[in-house]
Amino acid sequence: MPHDIPSLEASLDGGFGQPVFEAQATFRLVMDAMARPGSCHRIKADVTAPGLAGPAQTALALTLCDADTPVWCSDASPALGAWFAFHTGASLTANPDQAAFAFIGLNGITPEDLPLGTQDYPDRSATLVVEVGCLGEGERFGLTGPGIDGHYDIAIEGLPEGFAAFRAANRALFPRGLDVVLTAGRDLVALPRSTHFIPSEG
């Protein structure tokens, strides 16, 4: 048991240096990303968490999660649970169907049974945050929908297998469904549930 103590102590590090300022800046960035699906944004804060993929995922967790938002993580550990509890007040859940936010590491599998909301309360769905290899390189996809002027092309490297099919099924549920944020290190792209996401033929 004593050998676990240093890792738990390390979980207390890695938060925002200026919590109010950096959380506000991250929130504005996420709102801009949601309003302009496919546009790439970069997190400036130097933040880390034991089990989250990089600064973008960590900054999102620090900004969006709180005591009322259960979190599911593909790389959950006691250290990550302690980190969430200390920095955000949020608790980790082992059950995806209870999560308000789900964080997937690089090469992770998109979990099933995340809350999709209801017709009357579509906002009771989870937000899925997925780490990919790179944004701006790799397989090309086309985006259409609200916030996009006509058609937008985006290149993504390292998406989980079957992600495009998952997005198509998710879009068919609208207004229910998951909002998705793709992260790659410091970079992030938002794919709201209203966005059509299709492999590019070009």
- How do the domains of the chain map onto residue ranges? 2-199
Do 50 and 7 touch, CB atoms closer than 8 A? yes
Residue 201, C-beta contacts closer than 8 angstroms, at least 6 positions apart: none
Is the pTM for the entire model greater than 0.85? yes
pLDDT tens per residue across span 74-95: 999 999 999 999 999 999 999 9
pLDDT tens per residue across span 164-196: 889 999 999 999 999 999 999 999 999 999 999
What phi and psi, each to the nearest 5 degrees, are found at residue 73?
-130, 140
What phi and psi, each to the nearest 5 degrees, are found at residue 165?
-65, -40
Number of H helices and E strands in the chain, helices first, is 5, 9
Question: How far apart, in whole angstroms, are the C-alpha atoms of residue 165 and residue 163?
Answer: 5
The CATH number of domain 2-199, selected from 3.20.20.210, 3.40.50.11310, 3.90.580.10, 3.20.20.20: 3.40.50.11310
